[in-house]
Amino acid sequence: MRKFWETVQLKKTDISSYEIFLDDKILKTPLKKKLIIPNTKIAEEIYKEWNQDTNIIDTDAMIFYGILSTSIDKISGNRKLYIDDILDFIDTDLTCYRAEKPNDLVQWQSKNWDPILLKVEKYINNKINVFKGIMPLKQDKEIHIKITKFLTKFTDLEIVVLHRITNITGSVFLSLCILSNDKIKEKAFELSHLDELWQAENWGYEEEASKNRNKINLELNRTIYFLDCLKS
């Protein structure tokens, strides 16, 4: 999108909410709804996204604006669809499908992914099945029930963030751990790309693949940072 404004202003609307103005026009969502920003940190990040010193703006790279807009435009009336989409990852979760060989990859997956599953198992008091190979299999029905119940506690905005993290990582179990564990949060990209990074370490890095990983890493880190800002 070509930049059509000269100034960006951040204005407080009440004790905690903000609005952004592009020149004299209020910033809205893609569906033209009012963009009410819930706190100072998120407002500052969205301000930075729109106040870039460039003539061409990539709105797809505006992670904070995109998350907040989605929570306003799309989740109202569609909350169940977002939750169901998250739950769909339970039976295909990245961390539950393990290599059969070579042995060093098998051990690497166990070392990094087993602690994630153990944390989730402890919370839901239910064993999570781990599968060898790539054929899709089913987790126990009780796991679906308990995680569904857990997700009902989240706000619409938190569901949008969790949905985005789950789709980026391919793992609802990793995403749930990211919400509460700073160490896992810091290693989120590595944990969600173990196989690919292992192959790159052993067979060499490809420039295009590295660029793509960097882009995904940036999106994931920005999404996680949104969550941090939301809690502040």
Domain spans of the chain, in order of start: 8-61, 79-231
Check residue 99 and give its pLDDT.
92
Alpha carbon distance 198, 195 (integer Å): 5
Q: What is the mean pLDDT of residues 188-210?
A: 87
User: For 8-61, which CATH class?
Assistant: alpha beta
Topology of domain 79-231, CATH: ATP12-like fold (1.10.3580)
Written as six digits, the tokens of 48 are 């930075």
pLDDT band at 141 (very low <50, low <70, confident <90, very high): very high
Model confidence, pTM: 0.93
Q: Which two tokens stand for residue 208?
A: 């295009």
Q: Which of 16-30, 82-96, 175-189, 213-227 has the lowest mean pLDDT?
A: 175-189
pLDDT at residue 1 tops 90: no
Q: Is the pLDDT of residue 181 over 80?
A: no
For residue 10, give the DSSP letter: E
pLDDT at 160 > cutoff 80: yes
Closest among 127, 153, 120 to 141, alpha carbons compared: 127
- Residue 88 scores a pLDDT above 80: yes
Arithmetic mean of pLDDT, 130-159: 92
* Cβ-contact 199, 105 below 8 angstroms: no
